[in-house]
Amino acid sequence: MKIIVDEGKCQNHGLCAISAPDHFELDAEGKLTYRETFGEEDLDAVEDAVDSCPLQAIVADRDAA
């Protein structure tokens, strides 16, 4: 499964990093970094991050390898 972030929409609010810190973080400059892939065991945390984004800039693609 794959995390897709629309970097044109993302404004680095960091709510995703609070919801799923194993997958998202803000670097030293305040820019979002993230792990692109995740497993079934992390689906709930990633979905929480998707739901937390106020700009709907994150998608969890369950069909991507």
pLDDT of residue 64: 80
Is the per-residue pLDDT at 65 higher than 70?
no
b/e per residue, 11-48, with b = 16+ CB within 10 A?
Answer: eeeebbbebbeebbeeeeeeebebeeebeeebeebbee
Mean pLDDT of the chain: 96
pTM assigned to the model:
0.90
Pick the CATH number of 2-61 from 3.40.50.1980, 3.30.470.20, 3.40.640.10, 3.30.70.20: 3.30.70.20
